[in-house]
Amino acid sequence: MSLPESLQVFEFKAGNKNERTKKSGAVEVTVGRLEKDVAGVTSVGGKSVHLIAYDKTGKALASREAVSSSTSVSKRFQGVIDKLKVVVAVGMLECPFEIDVDLNGGQELALARSPQIPHRIRYSHQTVPNYSNYTQEELDRLKVIWKEADEQQWTDNLEIQLPKGPYSGQANWEVHFFGRDQSLFLPGNAIQGAQDISFRLDKGQLTAAQNPLPNFANPRPIDLT
C-alpha cells in the first residue's frame, strides 16, 4: 500500500495569465491550460499530481474525464472553473503487508481417498445493472445542449442533462440526425458523468455531411437509444 508522505498545494486563478508557474522547494508546477471546464498542468519534482477545481461560489466541481502521465495531468470538470488547486505528493510511503485467507472454511485440508466430482462455484464479475424509468413527459423535458468545437478543440459535443441520478456504469447510445428525407447516423464516443451523458463527434463531421443539417434548437428530432 502506498500513501503520500508529504503534500504541496498550489492555487491558480482562472483568467490570471501572469501567474502560470509556481515553485515550492523542489516541486514546480506549470499550468498549461485553464479555461472553462478544462485544466491541464505539468509538474517537476513530485511523485503524483491531483487537480481540484472550484466554481465562483467555492463549490468543488466533479470531474468528468482525466488524462494523466508521470509528469502531467489534464481534467475536464462539470462546470466552469474559477479556482484550481494542484496537490502534489512530494514523497510516497510504502507499507507492505500480508493477508492470510482461509479458503477451506477452517477445515483441515486432506486428499480424498476415492474419486470425487468437485462442486465448483463460479462467480460473475459483471454487476447486476439497475435501470431508472423515465416517463414520456420527463423525456420531453430532457435538456439537450449542442457544443460546437472552437479553434482549440477537436470534437463537437452533444450533452444531455439527466434529471435522475447520480449514475455509475456505462452508457450505450446512438445518435441519429434526421434530415428531410432520411436519418443520418454519425459515429462517435459516449462519455458518462454522474448527472449527464455526452456524445463526441469529430470536428466538422456535421458540416461535411451530405444530408441537410437538423435544427438543434429543438431536441425532439434527436433519437437516442
Q: Which amino acid is at 103?
A: L
**pLDDT the model gives residue 12:** 92
Give pLDDT, residue 161. 80
The pLDDT of residue 11: 92
pLDDT number for residue 211: 46
Q: Which residues pair with 31 in a beta bridge?
A: 41
pLDDT given at position 220 = 44
Q: What's the confidence (pLDDT) of residue 208?
A: 63
For position 150, what pLDDT does the model report? 79
Q: Which residues of the chain, if any, have pLDDT below 50?
A: 211, 213-225
- Closest listed residue to residue 185, CA positions, set 127, 225, 220, 129: 225
Please enumerate in sequence order all residues whose Cβ is within 8 A of that of 149, keeping only pairs 6 or more positions apart, or say none: 155, 156, 157, 203, 204
Domain boundaries, the chain: 2-94, 136-224
Place of cell 482549440: 152
The Cα–Cα gap between 146 and 139 comes to 17
The pLDDT, as a whole number, for residue 35 is 84
Upper half-sphere CA count for residue 150 (Cβ side, 13 Å) = 3
pTM of the model: 0.44
Predicted local confidence at residue 85, as pLDDT: 92
Which residue type does 47 have? K
